[in-house]
Structure formats: structure tokens, C-alpha cells
Chains A and B, each alone.
Chain A
Amino acid sequence: MHVLIVGCGRVGSGLARDLVAQGFEASILDESPEAFHLLGDDFPGDFVVGRALDWAVLREAGIERADAFVACTDGDNTNIVIAQIAQKKYGIRCVVARVYDPLRAELFAQVGINTVCPTRDVRVSLFDAVRACQVPLPDQEG
């Protein structure tokens, strides 16, 4: 099982290390050669530098043998576009894209992209955290 991650920020690099620790094979692609440092010296997978929109770069990063594809660059639009390339061009069935904007996350989920929206998830978490404090509602007070 090979996972290709695009975007080696805090999330992408951490995810790559988690996957490797669980026995997955992972490779990671980023525009910046500096991003490599976030992976640590002992990362066993491939690290490829290049533009994610370039199909040749995606192939160099192993998209043709990938079983799963994760798009987590810092650009919502880039993530949505490359997720569609992975799905439509390379036929990868497990494709996940991080999309910060809840509206675009919802729209592109409707057309078949598995979007993860941190903004929405954090909102839910914060709401749950407040509820967990059991602060009484106004009409329950007193």
C-alpha cells in the first residue's frame, strides 16, 4: 500500500511519518526543497521537489503506483485540482483533499472528491468543547 502526499507542511510531513510508522509506504512532494527538514533525517520514503500541477512531477513522485493520494498543500484550489488529476487521470480510488473553505469543500464533495475541511472540523470540536463544559443555557439558569 503506497500513499502519495502532496504538500510537506506540518500536516503532510506528520501524516507521512504516521503512515510509515503504521507500515505504509509513503512518498511526499513539495514545491520547496526546505520542506524536507520537517520529515526528519530517518524518513524512509521518497521526497520529490516540484510543482504538483505538473503531471511529469506527479509521476516522478510515484503517482502511477499510488494506492492513495492526499492533497494537503496550503492552497485549496491546488488541492482540489490535483485531487481531480489523481482521480481522473491516474484512476486512484482513495483520494483525499484538504480544503479550508467550507463552501468549496462541500461543493467538490458533491462531485465526488473526498474533502476534509479543517475549518468545519475545528468549529465542531470547539462547539463540542464548549458543550462539554456543561455551561447552562439561559433558560436553564437560576
Chain B
Amino acid sequence: MFVLIVGGGKVGLNTARQLLQLGHEIALVEQRKTRYDLIADLLGEDALVFGDGTEIWVLEKAGIGRADLVVAVTGDDEDNIIISQVATLKFGVPKVVARVNNPFNQPTFDLLGVENTVCATTAMLNLIMHELPTHKFVHLLSLKREQVELVELEVGENSPFAHTYVQDIALPEGVVLAAIVRAGHALVARGSTEILPGDYVLCLLPPGAERDLIQVFLPEEEPERVQLESELDTSEG
């Protein structure tokens, strides 16, 4: 596979090295001269292009026309959005992955059709939330293109579903109760499985069903994670 990486910071450089090790062909675009020289020492100059990766001619020089995948990982969110849009709109690149530097910009990536995004800050925040015992609702994974999310909920003593069988729970539209984590081990959720206080329930759900699910599972509280999300969600709704 030929992968074009735009941005030779830590993320871009390590992505390039990893892909080379796996036997893929890469090109890497970097516009800072000192950084370019450093990468040239490590990877050689063959796969390197010096220039502004948001310029169409620079992308052409790097071979975007035949790229199977473009990875936009500069430190600038505007630039990553434009690289993604140029790759898709002008060159019909089949797959694009973009880095979100500031989680506040996530809604803009979503709005402008940049589907495959990775935000280190959000990922780390989710992991931290997962480790904090006080958070009863944790967002584990989002697959944007596939339109599915994986979340974890803690079943408290007061939860309406403590001591209930999976088959008796009226889940919101589209939500699948996939597994139950009990004492550190995951059990596949079957209709006849009884949910106990202290269990963690893993659910698959379509984007947007989060609130409905929380209302069903944790009606008595509005967890921290949700407040965080609404801060990040800069839409007026």
C-alpha cells in the first residue's frame, strides 16, 4: 500500500517508520527545514518531500494521485482538515485519516466530512475516565465511518437493572448489550444472564443514542463524562 503522510512531527515520523517496517511504501511531507533534515538523516531523502502539505502542487509532487491512504498529522487542525478535503475532493483518495490536535475542533472535522479522526487528548481522557472508579459511564471507542460506538456502564446497587435479566431490559433503539464484565472477566450477554450490582455492561450503540442509554441505565445521575461531552459539543443544541 502507498501511504502519504503529511506532517513529520512525532506522530508522522513514527507512523512512517512503522509502515516502512511493515513493508508499505510511504511518502512524507514536512515543511520545517530543520525537521526535514532530521527525518532525512533517519529515513533517507527518497520518500521525503519538502514543502507545505496543504499546497496542491506539493501533494502532487509527493504522489497523492496514486495514494491508497493519506494521513494528515500536522500540528494544525485547519491544515489537517484542508489536506483531508483536498485528498478527497480533488484526488479521490480512498482513505484519509486526520489528527485532531485540539478536541474542541472535533465538531468541525465532523461537520466538514472528515470522518476518520484520531484525537490523542480525547483518547487519553477516555482512558483516564475508564480508570477512575467514580465514573459510571465511559466511552471506550467510536468507529465513525461504521457508525458504531462502544460504551461501558457501571451497574450500581440502585440501578433499575440490578438483579434483572438481559432479556427483560428495554434498550433504546439500536443499542446492543454485548457483554458483561464481572470481577474483571467479560461474559457474553445472553437473554438469560442476570445483571448484578457491581457489573460493568458493555454496549454497542449508534452515535447519538448515548443519552437515551444513560437515561435507561443511570436515571439518577448525570455522569461527569456527559458533562465533558457537552462542553466539547459546541453546537447550540
Contact = CB atoms under 8 A, between A and B. Distances in A.
**What is the interface of chain B mostly: helix, strand, loop, or mixed?**
helix
Nearest to B234: A55
Interface string B9-43: 00000000000000000000000000000000000
B82 A104 contact: yes
Contacts, number: 57
Nearest to A59: B236
A77 B78 contact: yes
A89 interface: yes
B55 A81 contact: no
Contacts of A54: 104, 234
A56 B86 contact: no
Interface string A95-116: 0000001011001001100000
Contacts of B90: 107
Q: How large is the interface on A (under 10, 10 to 19, 20 to 34, 35 or more residues)?
A: 20 to 34
B65 interface: no
Contact of B89 (A88, A89, A103, A107): A107
A101 B85 CA distance: 15
Contacts of A88: 111-112
**What is the interface of chain A mostly: helix, strand, loop, or mixed?**
helix
Given A75-B78, A104-B86, A81 B54 contact: no
A45 B187 CA distance: 62
Interface residues of B, number: 23
Contacts of A77: 54, 76, 78-79, 81-82
Contacts of B89: 107, 110-111
Nearest to B82: A77
Contacts of B151: none
A53 B86 contact: no
A77 B105 CA distance: 14
Interface of B: 54-57, 76-79, 81-82, 85-86, 89-90, 104-105, 107-108, 111-112, 234-236
Interface of A: 53-56, 59, 64, 75-78, 80-81, 84-85, 88-89, 101, 103-104, 107, 110-111
